[in-house]
Amino acid sequence: MPELLALWVKAPILKNADIIIVSKCLKHVNPELYGKITKGKVVLEYCPEQENPESYGKIASIIRSSKPRSLTVVTIDGSPHCFILQAAVNEAAYILGEKVVRKHFVVLDGKELVEITPEAIRVARYLSLVNSLIKRNPYILKELKKHSYEYNLALETNDAEIKE
């Protein structure tokens, strides 16, 4: 599969295509899901840990130059590195100042594909808003406990400021 940053933005396979940008590790985390969601799409793999984290310029250039029919991004939920890719797709649409047909998904616990909204990504960038949401809705920490090894360790070591 081509890597996002290694492909020319005007590559013929991108023109008017249904593009999916996926976390590079997803094919190892859940090969069955990877095969299902990438079928029939032009697949671009990306890992912010291994590559330039400023992918939004490349994504914006692909959108401007190749006019894809749609853009889907799928990352691993809870990964701070993967979050960068979700934010980069939003940022690319912002830079272009135009509506981009796109969908955002995360893979929860390596198994479940969950669609998220561009608004969720925007809010996640503003930690003061996330903090306010947690204080108003502490039940969300019970959900976090189901998925986050980091949070569970923080609870065990009394390193969590807000507890469920």
Q: For residue range 35-50, list pLDDT tens digits in order.
A: 999 999 999 999 988 8
The Cα diameter of the chain in Å comes to 54
Helix 140-147, helix 127-136: angle, nearest 10: 110
pLDDT digits (tens, 9 = 90+) for 64-92: 999 999 999 999 999 999 999 999 999 99
Domain boundaries, the chain: 4-124, 126-164
Model's pTM, two decimal places?
0.91
Bridge partners (DSSP) of residue 103 are 72
Q: Is the pLDDT reported for residue 54 higher than 80?
A: no
Q: Which CATH architecture has domain 4-124?
A: 3-Layer(aba) Sandwich (3.40)
> Is the CB of residue 45 less than 8 Å from the CB of residue 2?
yes
Read off the tokens for 71. 């853009």
* pLDDT reading at 164 higher than 80: no
Contact status, residue 46 vs residue 5, Cβ threshold 8 Å: yes
